[in-house]
Structure 1
Amino acid sequence: MPRRYGVRSARRYLLTAASVVLMGVLGYCQFMSSSTKVVAESPVFQSEYEISQNTFKMDDEKLVAANTKFGFKLFSEILKTDADKNVFVSPSSVAIALAMTYNGASGSTQQAMAKALELQGLSLEQINSSNAVLKEFLENPDPKVQLTIANSLWARQNFPFKPEFLQTNQEFYKAEVSNLDFSDPGSPAIINNWVKEKTSGKIDKIVEEITPEQVLFLINAIYFKGSWTEKFDKNTTANYPFNLISGEQKQHPMMSQTGDYKYYETEEFQAASLPYGDNGRISFYIFLPKQNSSLTAFYQNLNTENWEQWMTKFSKREGFIRLPRFKMVYNIELNQALKALGMEEAFSKKADFSAMSEEKLFIDTVQHKTFVEVNEEGTEAAAVTSVGVRTTSVQLKPEPFQMIVDRPFFCAIRDNQTGSVLFMGSIVNPESSD
């Protein structure tokens, strides 16, 4: 059985370190620069979601903006190889796992990771304290919404990791740190059982095997389950055509609903926000390219600046939505995408992780796996990221809209209070898969 190091209470840390600047790590939409309210001058969210001035400071906004850029850059890299597939990722999960790893980096490796993660200008203390606060702030935001974030470090037994590195990840990330006999064939099962537990059984494996050179796995797990504020009536679900990228048309179960939605439309796309729970703090966003456009064209404009602007444009409008039910599992190794973003050194033998150990270490693999199911009741989603380290005014009421999601679309699950993009996806074929 693994031996666990003691974990200090994050709440105790907050009480004893009240003077530390607190920041938002998971967020992907920039906060207002000098206000207590979130998301620029948004007419949609400004009056509904407020954050205490004692909780978030200007440094938080810088970090939220940094993670926004990283999340969309990463998604763009993934689409270069998986554009014709369903893609669903959690930029929050990847950011947290790499932030824990970042605590072990030094020198040019730390600089390269900071550039790739858009963290230049932020101190390690700022990044860590932000993670500690935002984890506690985001979890279980609504009686009808479950959101949990769990972290763990699995270390090779007797390998000389620096105590400061382990303690920092325990202190700020509430990471469970365990020593394992990596030579034991049962060790992967121990790690995977933790993953299965933290994702409510939706993801049951992230580590296939442990090689003799591997000495550490840093793992983040996020689990989300939210009921729609207004559930879809199952009696209205029926088969309708969905148009694939290939031009083929298939019949697929589509949910339908009429109501008042936060809605935004341009010449290129329609967008709607479907809220979860009693307070609608977390929403499911759908961006549907117009018939004369395409998902490829939409992705050419999907960046931090446009996203932040779009979030301020949503307004209440009556309409009809038809949305496909879908369920999928997505699995990807992120090594190449992260190297393309500037982290290549961290994966090479030139890597400097001397803040982690005196031994020569580098990142062996970054694995990311997600699950999502969208149905009449709501949405269930989970994500796991594993970083393996080895040695070596009055407006006229507009006409009701119609949004028939019968072709490939982009979607995201966003915490509207902090701006955190918890998940994002590209759905090109809503065929259910296990």
Structure 2
Amino acid sequence: MKLCLKLMAICLSLLALSNANPVVEKYRDFEMEVLSKVLLQRSKENVVMSPLAIKYAMETLYCGAYGYTAEEIRLALHITKNKDDLIKHAKMTSDSMNRTILDFTNKLFYNHDIKLSDKYRLHAETPFHSEFESLDFNEVEKSMDIINQWISKRTKRNIRQICSSIDEHTIAEMVSAAYLKGGWARPFCKEFTVKRDFCLDKEKCIKVPTIHAKDLFHYAESSILDAQLLEAPFEQSDLSMIIILPNKKNGLYELEEKLKSFDFDDINDHWKMEQMDVYVPKFKISSSIPLKVALQKLGIYEMFTHSADFSDMLEHGHGHMPISEVQHAAMIEIHESDASDLVLDETKTYIPFYADHPFAFVIRNKHNVLFAGHVVSL
């Protein structure tokens, strides 16, 4: 049905850790669930988001929550009650991350009359990539400017403003940002970029800059999905993008329907290294996404009310601090190589992979889905 449920399943399976960790698998459940909710809301537009950055933002809040507020977050995130173990796991994941081409962080903005405990800040800052800043929300415009400047800085000025619900009654707002800019490891060179058709639907096609490469890629075909899958690695990184391309130009809806029940557990066993003739539209996507509605659909309610109990992060150990919104901003930009010494062997047979119509994608390393989304227009 919706690219949500589908892409959720995809990310999980495509992740396939060789040593299954039940805690890690449960974390992925949350990442896929929140992804599905957002994609369901935004099926008609290009979307990119970082499930990992959102998870870190919510874990930051969980570690400061208490009582029923903490329990709702814990259940939605599928994590254990032991916050110390959670912090250790997050630190381990963070240490394994290659940060050469990506940046992600989250920041809790809270009213100036609230005092956070030093112990909480110390425990949350490094493992969850968290920052904290007090604002006078009575000065609404100034507070908005500060938040937007932070978002702009974190996304290299690609997202200059994030829609926000703050007003003079705001107590706290969580904002997460994720940014990726890198190049392909395979020779998608500028000299090979051409203008080709990208079909928005069955009737309308437009000419768009399209990158091109003939090389070896991980490739799979799925008769169940009626789709091609191609994995393209990034340079100087352990990251790769997996493009899920429907065989039919108007087949994204059908693909999304089938993804709900498709078993991706053994996808890694189906990859083959093939000589590929690849055309992919050159794209740069940014999204600004309020997550409150999606999180409420996952069962997180109390933290958005005046009953929100964040005693474990407050200096005096008790008190209510409602979160007005959890905002997420994400941006990806992937560029071609400057030059290539590649010599094409025209005697070889290449399998065509022409992403000339709407497709879904995930960006992952061995352990995490870092970004996911879909391209429906250019």
- TM superposition score category, shorter chain reference: 0.7 to 0.9
| TM-score, structure 2 as length reference | 0.82
Residue 98 of structure 2 contacts residue 238 of structure 2 at CA under 8 Å; is this kept in 1? no
| 2:297 equivalent among 310, 334, 340 | 340
- SS for the counterpart of 1:205 is coil
Structure 1 residue ranges (4+ consecutive) displaced by more than 6 angstroms after TM superposition: none
Point out where structure 1 has 5 or more consecutive residues left out of the alignment. Answer: 1-27, 33-37, 41-56, 379-397
- SS for the counterpart of 1:284 is strand
Q: Which amino acid aligns with 2:93?
A: L
With over 3 angstroms needed to count, the CA separation of the structure-2 counterparts of 1:377 and 1:335, relative to structure 1, is farther
Shift of 1:149: 3.2
Shift of 1:265: 0.8
1:131 aligns with 2:90: yes
| 1:323 equivalent among 251, 266, 280 | 280
Residue 202 of structure 1 contacts residue 371 of structure 1 at CA under 8 Å; is this kept in 2? yes
Which position in structure 1 is the counterpart of 2:120? 165
Q: Which amino acid aligns with 2:107?
A: S
With over 3 angstroms needed to count, the CA separation of the structure-2 counterparts of 1:315 and 1:116, relative to structure 1, is same
- SS for the counterpart of 1:148 is strand
Shift of 1:305: 7.9
| 1:406 equivalent among 351, 356, 368 | 356
Q: Which amino acid aligns with 1:332?
A: I
Shift of 1:428: 0.8
Shift of 1:101: 0.8
| 1:289 equivalent among 240, 246, 251 | 246
Q: Which amino acid aligns with 1:360?
A: H
Determine the C-alpha separation between the residues in 1 that align with 2:63 and 2:271.
Answer: 38
**Which residues in structure 2 correspond to 1:421-432 (within 5 Å)?**
421-429=369-377, 431=378
Alpha-carbon RMSD across the aligned residues, in angstroms, is: 3.0
**Which residues in structure 2 correspond to 1:34-433 (within 5 Å)?**
39-40=17-18, 61-119=21-79, 121=80, 123-140=82-99, 145-170=100-125, 172-173=127-128, 175-184=130-139, 185-206=141-162, 208=164, 210-245=166-201, 247-267=203-223, 268-278=226-236, 281-291=238-248, 294-302=251-259, 306-357=263-314, 358-377=318-337, 400-415=350-365, 417-418=366-367, 420-429=368-377, 431=378
Q: Which amino acid aligns with 2:230?
A: A
Determine the C-alpha separation between the residues in 2 that align with 1:304 and 1:218.
Answer: 34
| TM-score, structure 1 as length reference | 0.73
- TM-superposition CA deviations, 1:153-208 (whole Å, max 9, x none): 33322314444433322353353333333334433333333333333222233365
Residue 56 of structure 2 contacts residue 129 of structure 2 at CA under 8 Å; is this kept in 1? no
With over 3 angstroms needed to count, the CA separation of the structure-2 counterparts of 1:207 and 1:165, relative to structure 1, is farther
Which position in structure 2 is the counterpart of 1:50? none
Determine the C-alpha separation between the residues in 1 that align with 2:156 and 2:86.
Answer: 28
Shift of 1:111: 2.1
With over 3 angstroms needed to count, the CA separation of the structure-2 counterparts of 1:304 and 1:88, relative to structure 1, is farther
Per chain length, whose mean CA-contact separation is higher, i.e. which structure has more relative contact order (CA < 8 Å, sep 6+)?
Answer: 2
Determine the C-alpha separation between the residues in 2 that align with 1:233 and 1:166.
Answer: 45
Residue 104 of structure 1 contacts residue 354 of structure 1 at CA under 8 Å; is this kept in 2? yes
With over 3 angstroms needed to count, the CA separation of the structure-2 counterparts of 1:179 and 1:249, relative to structure 1, is closer
Determine the C-alpha separation between the residues in 1 that align with 2:220 and 2:177.
Answer: 32
Give % identity.
24
Determine the C-alpha separation between the residues in 2 that align with 1:114 and 1:220.
Answer: 19
Point out where structure 2 has 5 or more consecutive residues left out of the alignment. Answer: 1-10, 339-347
Q: Which amino acid aligns with 2:354?
A: I
